[in-house]
């Protein structure tokens, strides 16, 4: 444990220097600033070797200004070491050396950047087309969103003919800032189920300079994984995903996300024992460095090619079951929600193989998406919104 040293501070603007390897310390410092310092307090970050993705993330953090290493010195600015953190002692703001746990990272106030990621392989093109057609039936948003991208993510090499196949579907973009394509470039040994899907998911999360498809490195703060067998069942489902993040606040304000994963418990009828107590991988992820550090622990114990791994989403929770002391500290980071229902291989209600969609909508007013569970087509129910509902925009 680093020995704490306290110093009373009175400035409203601080400066620190940081390189890429120190970014976790910087995020901890920023989180502590956002908790304890007056809201107008600013931090100038002198960039001595940050990555592109790190600079992009800093643009989303409140009251943070990034300058080049050769920038002129600032006046009336307090200098602070990046391996420090702010705390309040007896009502006064003080600074101390960082604590090993870096406890403040998940308290950063940020303007979120969201990716909707659809992972697929060539054999799923038909399902992908059906999913996109459902998005045309159930319009995802009320207004076009300048902080959300749609990403088609495939298993093949970059510039694969798969990208042309997606273009041929002719999806009309009415909601997203950009539509992008990412390629996992799996090897022949990796490109098999379930290993391939696990590695594709992992590549989105690994935060390293040599990973060109790391979502954090691309500047995203959150993403929703939407496999081709995840279907919208009512309109404004993208707005519902955003609401899980903003929780009633304006989308253009700065938000604290103190959770790591939000999604559905298993809602189907298949008997899977305690395994039902996990969040299915079709979920919203907060791309917190603390979460990624946790996942690194999981991956070391439950390697995808080992007999211990049950599934990349299940492994996250099996690790907690095996480490109860850690589970007590982290269980609140995983939020169960019914904005999506995981009905893997079965229907969602009472063990029925097929569920009438009209009845399902009436009985599940908070559910906008269903994963893996067949629903019988019937008359569509579209919620009615008053004139005051404007959707999300910036």
Query: Would residue 297 count as lying in a domain?
Result: yes
Do 115 and 78 fall within a single domain? no
Do 74 and 116 fall within a single domain? no
Task: Print the domain residue range for 78.
Answer: 7-107
Question: Rounded to an integer, what distance in angstroms lies between the CA atom of residue 118 and that of residue 125?
Answer: 11
Q: What is the pLDDT of residues 125-146, one digit of tens each?
A: 999 999 999 998 999 999 999 9
Does the pLDDT of residue 248 top 60, yes or no?
yes
Do 184 and 285 fall within a single domain? yes
Residue with tokens 């009175």: 10
Does the pLDDT of residue 379 top 60, yes or no?
no
**Residue 69's CATH number:** 3.90.550.10
The domain total for the chain is 2
Q: What is the pLDDT of residues 307-346, one digit of tens each?
A: 888 889 999 999 999 999 999 999 999 999 999 999 876 6
Query: Would residue 388 count as lying in a domain?
Result: no
Question: Rounded to an integer, what distance in angstroms lies between the CA atom of residue 224 and that of residue 208?
Answer: 20
Do 135 and 101 fall within a single domain? no
**Total Cβ atoms within 10 A of residue 86:** 23
Q: Are 196 and 154 in contact (CB under 8 A)?
A: no
pLDDT at residue 348, rounded to an integer = 74
Q: Which helix (H) or strand (E) holds 89?
A: strand 84-89
Do 96 and 154 fall within a single domain? no
**Six token digits for residue 22:** 């120190």
Q: What is the pLDDT of residues 114-129, one digit of tens each?
A: 999 999 999 999 999 9
Do 61 and 186 fall within a single domain? no
Question: Rounded to an integer, what distance in angstroms lies between the CA atom of residue 385 and that of residue 382?
Answer: 9
**Total Cβ atoms within 10 A of residue 241:** 24
Q: What is the pLDDT of residues 188-243, one digit of tens each?
A: 999 999 999 999 999 999 988 789 999 999 999 999 999 999 999 999 999 999 99
Query: Would residue 182 count as lying in a domain?
Result: yes
pLDDT at residue 287, rounded to an integer = 98
Query: Would residue 87 count as lying in a domain?
Result: yes
pLDDT at residue 388, rounded to an integer = 47
Average pLDDT for 98-109 = 94
Angle at which helices 289-301 and 195-205 pack, to 10 degrees? 150
Question: Rounded to an integer, what distance in angstroms lies between the CA atom of residue 222 and that of residue 283?
Answer: 10
Do 182 and 263 fall within a single domain? yes
Do 229 and 346 fall within a single domain? yes
Whether the full predicted model's pTM is greater than 0.85, yes or no, is yes
Query: Would residue 394 count as lying in a domain?
Result: no
pLDDT at residue 385, rounded to an integer = 46
Please report which confidence band the pLDDT of residue 375 belongs to, taking 50, 70 and 90 as the band edges: low
**Total Cβ atoms within 10 A of residue 172:** 8
SS3 266: strand
Instruction: Say which residue, 386 or 187, is predicted with more confidence.
Output: 187
Q: Are 281 and 261 in contact (CB under 8 A)?
A: no
Do 79 and 139 fall within a single domain? no
Do 186 and 331 fall within a single domain? yes
Query: Would residue 302 count as lying in a domain?
Result: yes
Please report which confidence band the pLDDT of residue 1 belongs to, taking 50, 70 and 90 as the band edges: very low
Q: Of the residues 80, 107, 134, which one is the last residue of a structural domain?
A: 107
Query: Would residue 50 count as lying in a domain?
Result: yes
Does the pLDDT of residue 377 top 60, yes or no?
no
Do 86 and 60 fall within a single domain? yes
Q: Which helix (H) or strand (E) holds 47?
A: strand 42-47
Do 181 and 259 fall within a single domain? yes
């Amino acid at each position: 444990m680093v020995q704490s040293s306290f110093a009373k501070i009175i400035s409203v603007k601080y400066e620190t220097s940081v390189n890429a390897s120190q970014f976790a310390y910087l995020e901890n410092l920023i989180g502590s600033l956002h908790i304890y310092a007056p809201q107008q307090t600013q931090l100038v970050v002198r960039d001595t070797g940050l990555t592109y993705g790190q600079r992009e993330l800093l643009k989303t953090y409140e009251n943070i200004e990034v300058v080049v290493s050769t920038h002129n010195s600032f006046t009336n600015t307090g200098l602070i070491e990046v391996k420090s953190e702010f705390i309040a002692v007896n009502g006064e703001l003080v600074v101390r050396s960082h604590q090993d746990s870096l406890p403040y990272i998940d308290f950063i106030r940020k303007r979120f950047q969201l990716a909707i990621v659809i992972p697929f392989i060539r054999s799923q093109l038909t399902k992908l087309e059906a999913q996109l057609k459902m998005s045309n039936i159930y319009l995802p948003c009320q207004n076009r969103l300048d902080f959300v991208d749609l990403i088609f993510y495939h298993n093949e090499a970059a510039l694969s003919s798969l990208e042309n196949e997606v273009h041929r579907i002719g999806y009309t973009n009415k909601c997203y800032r950009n539509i992008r394509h990412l390629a996992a470039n799996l090897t022949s040994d990796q490109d098999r189920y379930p290993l391939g899907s696990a590695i594709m998911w992992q590549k989105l999360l690994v935060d390293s300079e040599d990973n060109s498809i790391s979502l954090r490195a691309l500047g995203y703060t959150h993403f929703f994984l939407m496999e081709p067998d995840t279907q919208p069942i009512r309109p404004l489902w993208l707005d519902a995903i955003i609401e899980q993040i903003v929780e009633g606040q304006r989308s253009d304000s700065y938000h604290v996300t103190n959770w790591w994963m939000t999604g559905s418990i298993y809602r189907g009828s298949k008997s899977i024992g305690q395994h039902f107590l996990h969040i299915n991988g079709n979920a919203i992820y907060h791309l917190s460095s603390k979460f990624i550090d946790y996942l690194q622990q999981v991956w070391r114990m439950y390697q995808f090619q080992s007999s211990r791994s049950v599934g990349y989403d299940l492994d996250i929770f099996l690790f907690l079951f095996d480490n109860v002391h850690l589970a007590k500290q982290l269980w609140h980071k995983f939020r169960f929600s019914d904005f999506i229902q995981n009905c893997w291989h079965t229907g969602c209600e009472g063990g029925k193989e097929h569920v009438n969609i009209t009845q399902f909508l009436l009985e599940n007013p908070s559910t906008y998406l269903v994963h893996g569970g067949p629903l019988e087509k019937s008359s569509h129910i579209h919620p009615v919104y008053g004139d005051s509902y404007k959707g999300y925009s910036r």
